[in-house]
Amino acid sequence: MTSRSFLRLALAGAVASGAVTLAALPADASRPPRTVPVRLLALNDFHGNLEPPTGSSGRMVDEHGDTVDAGGAAYVATHMKALADENTIAVAQGDLIGATPLISAAYHDEPSVEFLGKLGLEVAAVGNHEFDEGYAELRRIMKGGCHPVDGCSPAGEWKGAKFDYVGANVLFKNRHEKTDALAALGGSDSAKVKQALSGWGVPALPPVSIKWMNGVPIGFIGLVTQTTPGIVSSEGIKDLTFVDEVKAANVASKLLRLVGVKAQVVLVHEGDQVNQGQSPDACSAVPGAGNRIATQVDPEIDVVLSGHSHQAYVCTVKDPAGGDRLFSQGGSFGRVITQVDMKVNARTRDIDRASIVADNHVVTRTVTADPEISAFVQTWKDRVAPVANKAVGTITADITNTAAPSGESPLGNLIADAQLAATRTGGNAQIALMNPGGVRASLSHASSPAGEGDGVVTYGEAFTVQPFNNLMQVVTLTGAQLKTVLEQQFTGGPNNQAFTKILQPSANFTYTYTDSAPWGSKVSDMKIDGTPVTDTQTVRVAANNFLVGGGDAFLAFRDGTDVWSGPLDIDAFVDHLGKDNPIAPPATDRITVTG
């Protein structure tokens, strides 16, 4: 094996021949320092919002403290063109696809990835939602080909993403490259590479991407939250493991250094919450998982651009060597573009951190929408319109996903009722439980986009509520196991629930929880159709495959037996919306809360 081919293996195809060229061209110390400009323009958590997002998802606090309408692909394109110059590299921090509106989701997000290619995106970290349909589907999106079940979209055979997806902490579980054979390489370079790869494993995705700008190489390291296995369906990632972000970043940083890349940027799909209402350019982030990564990754890394938490902030943090390092994020849904200007020393090939200036630009809709992208979005809107505008039911009033004091929401309860109705026959379900994070929007009583009149719910509106295409399943749990599932709603237990997540119960299932009780003793008085549930009885519980696989840290679901699979969750919801019309908002009285 040659050193050239080994370096290609080490970088998982990310840099190809450019890597060896870099290593072979060390900086000339006799040349005087000269800096060259580089501009990064970054997006995160786009979630396929080709059309301008609505409601609170389509508004943003700007630099002046005003709340303005923001987002929409055609407006993103206009702002990007205004901000880009000859020194620009466009990047992204994950969740570009997944949990998307029907205009994108109906075609497995090919329209959104095509738009991002038109936008000039060059490198993107994977987010957890890139794995919503599994690793194999992500690879198809990256490389091309028609969907194995639904076939080609109206645009024809998918050609693949025009940008690089990177994920240094996404590894195969059961594949190991033997480094013993690398001894044949000889020399110190081989030893350094072996040391850098020690304990890492085999990347399932390219860990890095190298882009040249103004004669200098810029290395981009991709990372995704290590909590991904708990927030996506387990079947699609069963062959993958998601390792600690800091460890993976440090290995990737060493590999970049080995091929002469000193200007290093982390694109990480993990971030922090903020103190609300502040300017997108303020350092309003409350230190959390994102800050841990930003402050602990190798000092060689100059910039950390984040995502996942859907917040906007621009912060300066300290790296492990005490140097200043940029840590920022740009909201979500295409409402903010992060601009980072910096200078790179052409002799040392490193970023002058004192030169870094970051600015979060709100994607306002007061500019002229880009005509090419407007036409592109309209084409896909027309293609999906017959499905999106089909009326599927009527409601008497708004049915919201806003939680009551018990943690239930009217819409969450309605979905649980729909799931129970869809799984009684065949699955013999007795109750249903719905994860609140899967209820993505409210149902409005106002006129639908198709203009059918007040109270009409269209398929497109229903899909916006339930966009994941999860499979409905039914498992058998004992009463004691069911109680454990409910205890796992709360923090403080061995399942490491990050924050309280109240499952939405079907109408025939009631119980009480006590806030002040210790974990393991919070839940009591469980009843099905008014009859108390005992520890030893068996209960057929309906839930989506995400929950059944232990998603959202509900690990006790994995103890279920006799798994039965039924319809998609969206089909169950749409079928229920078409019955007993008009539907009134369900009461939120299924859970009783005591002090």
B/e letters for 488-519, b = 16+ CB within 10 Å, e = fewer, are bbbeebebebeeebbbbbbbbbbbebeeeeee
Using alpha carbons only, what angle is made at residue 512 by residues 509 and 516, rounded to the nearest 5 degrees? 155
The pLDDT of residue 258 is above 60: yes
- In the chain the first and final C-alpha atoms are separated, in Å, by 67
Q: How far is CA 313 from CA 216, 278, 280, 330, in A?
A: 28, 9, 5, 7
Residues 390-404: tens digit of each pLDDT = 999 999 999 999 999
The pLDDT of residue 337 is above 90: yes
B/e letters for 306-328, b = 16+ CB within 10 Å, e = fewer, are bbbbbbbbbbebebeeeeebbbb
pLDDT score for 573: 98
Question: What pLDDT band is residue 180 in, cutting at 50, 70 and 90?
Answer: very low
The pLDDT of residue 554 is above 60: yes
Do 422 and 472 form a contact (C-beta atoms < 8 A)?
yes
pLDDT score for 446: 84
Do 320 and 298 form a contact (C-beta atoms < 8 A)?
yes
B/e letters for 346-357, b = 16+ CB within 10 Å, e = fewer, are bbebbbebeebe
Q: CATH topology of 35-371 equal to that of 390-593?
A: no
Mean pLDDT of the residues in the chain: 91
Residues 453-504: tens digit of each pLDDT = 589 999 999 999 999 888 899 999 999 999 999 999 999 999 999 899 999 9
Which range has the worst mean pLDDT, 54-68, 84-98, 508-522?
54-68
Residue predicted with more confidence, 273 or 19: 273
The pLDDT of residue 74 is above 80: yes
Query: For a pLDDT cut of 70, what percent of the chain falls above it?
Result: 89
Nearest partner of 410 among 279, 547, 317, 505, judged by Cα:
505
Segment (H or E) for 4: helix 3-10
- DSSP classification of residue 55: G
Segment (H or E) for 89: strand 88-92
The pLDDT of residue 2 is above 60: no
Neighbours of 162 (CB within 10 A): 14
Where do the structural domains in the chain lie, given as residue ranges?
35-371, 390-593
pTM above threshold 0.95: no
How far apart are the C-alpha atoms of 594 and 462, rounded to whole Å? 34
Using alpha carbons only, what angle is made at residue 55 by residues 50 and 58, rounded to the nearest 5 degrees? 45
How far apart are the C-alpha atoms of 585 and 582, rounded to whole Å? 10
How far apart are the C-alpha atoms of 525 and 381, rounded to whole Å? 49
Instruction: Say which CATH architecture domain 35-371 belongs to.
Output: 4-Layer Sandwich (3.60)
* The CA-based dihedral angle spanning residues 515, 520, 524, 529, taken in that order and rounded to the nearest 10 degrees: 120
How far apart are the C-alpha atoms of 20 and 496, rounded to whole Å? 44
Do 334 and 315 form a contact (C-beta atoms < 8 A)?
no
B/e letters for 123-159, b = 16+ CB within 10 Å, e = fewer, are bbbbbbbbbbbbbebbebbbeeeebeeeeebeeeebe
Nearest partner of 585 among 413, 441, 452, judged by Cα:
413
Average pLDDT rounded to a whole number, residues 519-540:
98
The residue type found at 384 is V
How far apart are the C-alpha atoms of 329 and 285, rounded to whole Å? 9
Strand segments, DSSP code E, in 101-215 are: 121-125, 164-166, 170-172, 208-213
Residues 402-423: tens digit of each pLDDT = 999 999 999 999 999 999 999 9
pLDDT score for 299: 98
Instruction: Say which CATH architecture domain 390-593 belongs to.
Output: Alpha-Beta Complex (3.90)
